[in-house]
Structure 1
Amino acid sequence: MIRLNSRKTKEEQFSEKITTIQNKLYRLAYCYVKNEQEALDIVSEATYKGYIAYGKMDSMTYFDSWMSRIVINTSIDHIRRSQRVTYMEDYVQEFAAPERGASIEEKMDLYDALDRLVPEDRAYIILKFFDNMRFREIAEVLSLSENTVKSKFYRIINKLKLDLVEGEVGDL
């Protein structure tokens, strides 16, 4: 079927945009729940929420950041609903940050420390280290100023250092 009008419908635009970032959204959700099926459910729910909202918008310049924020919020909602501990599975390594010679025990300590962070704080670490975002990009995703993102990020990093180096399990 030849299309006379070269303009794409909103549904087609959304479908194309979501297809290009679906793996990124999955990795983001997976960092929160560490379970393949739950991450897929979160991405599915976030995609539905994005699709509903996308139809009401005139333009979506920052689609990636916007969808990332929806996935983060959906992940946090999912964690709050489930309120259970999730354990890392053996195949997690393919989604983890590149290896730099850390032992399995050190990696497990790091993931345990990340799990002890409140989900809102975990977003800063995931976006910075797992998605390799710059502070400016993180600020767009979280709808905060870049300086606020930097100060919160470094505060969270210091808490993680204390937890990992000194073994303190205090109130992260």
Structure 2
Amino acid sequence: MRLHSKKLKEAQFSEKLGVIRDKLYRLAFCYVKNEQEALDIVSEATYKGYLAYGRMQSMTYFDTWMSRIVINTAIDHLRRNKRMTYIEDQGKELAAPGQGATLEEKMDLYDALDRLAPEERTYIILKFFVSLSFKEMAQVLSLSENTVKTRLYRIVKKLKNDLLEGEVEHV
């Protein structure tokens, strides 16, 4: 009976992960901007998630739970490597579709994002690259919705100031 239950849990985990696999990859890629490193992060996060999956109380929040594991794994990866990341594949579009930014403007944005602390970058990635609502962000970050809004607005202001200062320097 115990073996059957374990196989069922494995199948559930695999099925749920299959649904959000691409989202998790995009999330990791936003941090490292390198395909192989993003795949490594998702793989490590999947392993961590699999180990903890049996202890999950509610399957309702699997998506946000796995997103949080990927975010933490990506931040740990950045801290371990403490190096600059570069956009490996110019063909991969990180910005939201329909944004009419030039390549130079996008590079400025990515440079400014790289200057943010990994924890700050998380807010920008979740809101603008993964398109989560404030409520979903609050669930992923285990914070209140108001705290998420306040921190995001502060980080956006910091990012905007950084980008505007960069424009002045180039002129």
Q: TM-score, normalised by structure 2?
A: 0.90
C-alpha distance after superposition, 1:51-74 (max 9, x if no partner): 000012243210000000000000
Q: CA RMSD in A?
A: 1.6
Structure 2: distance between partners of 1:99 and 1:89: 22
Q: One-letter code of the match for 1:154? A: Y
**1:43 and 2:51 aligned:** no
Look up the match of 1:21. 20
Q: TM-score, normalised by structure 1?
A: 0.89
Structure 1: distance between partners of 2:25 and 2:60: 21
Structure 2: distance between partners of 1:111 and 1:103: 12
Report how far residue 102 of structure 1 moved: 1.2
Q: One-letter code of the match for 1:64? A: D
Structure 1: runs of 5+ lacking an equivalent = none
**Contact residue 50 and residue 70 of structure 1 kept, 8 A:** yes
Q: One-letter code of the match for 1:66? A: W
Report how far residue 92 of structure 1 moved: 5.1
C-alpha distance after superposition, 1:96-142 (max 9, x if no partner): 32142211111110010001000001010000011110000000000
**Contact residue 25 and residue 38 of structure 2 kept, 8 A:** yes
Q: Identity of counterpart residues, as a percentage?
A: 73
Q: One-letter code of the match for 1:85? A: M
Q: One-letter code of the match for 1:146? A: E
Look up the match of 2:33. 34
Look up the match of 1:63. 62
Q: Structure 1 pair 51/102, CA: closer, same or farther in 2 (3 Å)?
A: same
Look up the match of 2:73. 74
Look up the match of 1:11. 10
| Equivalent residues, number | 162
Q: One-letter code of the match for 2:99? A: R
Structure 2: distance between partners of 1:32 and 1:40: 12
